Amino acid sequence: MVDLLLQFLSNTGYYFLYQDPRYILMITIGCTFVYLGIAKEYEPLLLVPIGFGIIVGNIPFFKGFGIGIYEDNSVFHYLYFGVTTGIYPSIVFLGLGAMTDFSSLLARPKLMLLGAAAQMGIFFTLLSALAIGFLPKEAASIAIIGGADGPTSIFLTAKLAPHLIGPIAIAAYSYMALIPVIQPPIMRLLTTRKERLIRMTEPREVSQKELLLFPVIAVLLCCLLAPTALPLLGMLFLGNLFKVCGVTDRLADSARTAIIDTATILLGFTVGASTQADVFVNPKSVGIFFLGAVAFSIATASGVIFAKFMNLFMKEKINPLLGASGVSAVPGSAREVHVMGLKEDPTNFLLMHAMACNSSGVIGSAICAGILWSFLI
């Protein structure tokens, strides 16, 4: 009887926790994510499922029972299929398209350049990752964190370096959640108070026809340039067409509510669960987190610096804070820019303009993912 009891105890999670304390570290990280999501309301829609996924994924078990996410025929393995094949990111983009209002971007197309400039963080990080010794496919997957776009990072990593999905997804979403901590010091450092006070003029009114033509033109131009971005941009602009065409309101409603919510839950949970301590806690993950922070910071800085550069040639000046929203963390970075603008001048509303940069950042980072994928196929 004692033998049976001991055998049972040696198969419990407590025993494995005792055997490998890395699981305790990961469970603590999971709890922190859940805490930040609920108590601090840092991107709760992402951090709560991811955090809980980390907790669930790091409950140690006896290998071979078909329980873990990396074991064939387990339920989690099937759910994880949507991540490794890039299905969930595409569905998230569909919902994102159905949510996004491109009218501010159409009213002021030059703001799209800030979305392009903010992608420079990706290429700088690509070089840094290669210099540190990561393989090219791994370096490209890490670099895309600079786009600050979780689904895009997961999509590219699933294609190029599936073994790194866990750390890259966690890094990307962590930095997206930490936008209020990371971006403001960079924005303040790179701008003067006078620049932060610049007011943007009211954007012109955009006609329904322009809104209708935009998704068609954009998908053609972007995907002919980088066809590998089709799974993301194709879905993004399809969702947007549903929203603006006026005859598919039901589809648009489903895409921006039930469909994107389902995909976000499954994506967040399975990505969290994929961070099993035995495959996650290693020096590579530390390197990824470090490079992710570098990528995100440089992306923010390059957007701000480029906005200042544009101001040298423009009569109507742009508030350089908008450059920081060129990263594609929608709508977190736009909100942060707006808040900082309000701190300097409570009557200066930058949100609408920042959303224009933000949405161009989404397009830009998806194009970057397509380009990097096509380089390394």
Partner 1 sequence: MDRAFDIVLQFIINLPLITQKGLQNISDNNGWAMAIVGAITVFSGLVILALTISQLPNLILLLEKFKKTNKVDEISETPTSLKPDVQEYLSTDINKVANLYRPLFEKLGDSFPLSALYDLSQKEKLPHPHITITSFREADILISKGDGIFTWNKELV
- Give the single-character DSSP code of 325: G
- Whose CA is closest to 20, among 212, 356, 276? 276
- Please tell me the distance from the alpha carbon of residue 330 to that of residue 338, in angstroms, as a whole number: 13
For the chain, what's the residue count? 377
Q: Is 250 an interacting residue with respect to partner 1 (CB under 8 A)?
A: no
Q: Which two tokens stand for residue 69?
A: 């996410």
Task: Return the H-helix or E-strand segment holding 88.
Answer: helix 87-99
Q: Does 239 bind partner 1 (CB under 8 A)?
A: no
209 belongs to the binding site for partner 1 (CB under 8 A)? yes
Tokens 């380089």 sit on residue: 375
**Count of residues in contact with partner 1, rule CB under 8 A:** 43
Q: Considering the complex, state which of residue 46 and residue 145 has its C-beta at the smaller distance from partner 1.
A: 145
Of the residues 26, 36, 126, 350, which one makes contact with partner 1 according to CB under 8 A: 126
Single residue of 103, 119, 153, 276 touching partner 1 by CB under 8 A: 119
Closest Cα to residue 320, out of 307, 311, 309? 307
307 touches partner 1 by CB under 8 A: no
Q: Which of 64, 133, 283, 346 binds partner 1 (CB under 8 A)?
A: 133
81-106 burial code (b ≥16 CB/10 A, e <16): ebbbebbbbbbbbbbbbbbbbbbbbb
Closer residue to partner 1 in complex, CB, 229/281? 229
Encoded tokens for 353:
């303009």
Tokens of 364: 């830009």
Question: Which region among 6-14, 43-51, 117-125, 317-325 touches partner 1 (by CB under 8 A)?
Answer: 117-125
Nearer to partner 1, 36 or 367 (CB): 367
Taking a C-beta distance cutoff of 8 angstroms, is the pair 76, 68 a contact?
yes
Residue for token digits 């806690």? Answer: 281
* Least separation in angstroms between CB 143 and partner 1: 9
Among 132, 216, 286, 314, binds partner 1 (CB under 8 A): 132
**348-367 binders of partner 1 (CB under 8 A):** 360, 363-364, 367
Question: Residues interacting with partner 1, by CB under 8 A?
Answer: 105-106, 109-110, 112-113, 115-117, 119-120, 122-124, 126-127, 130-133, 135-136, 139-140, 207, 209-210, 213-214, 217-218, 221-222, 225-226, 360, 363-364, 367-368, 371-372, 375
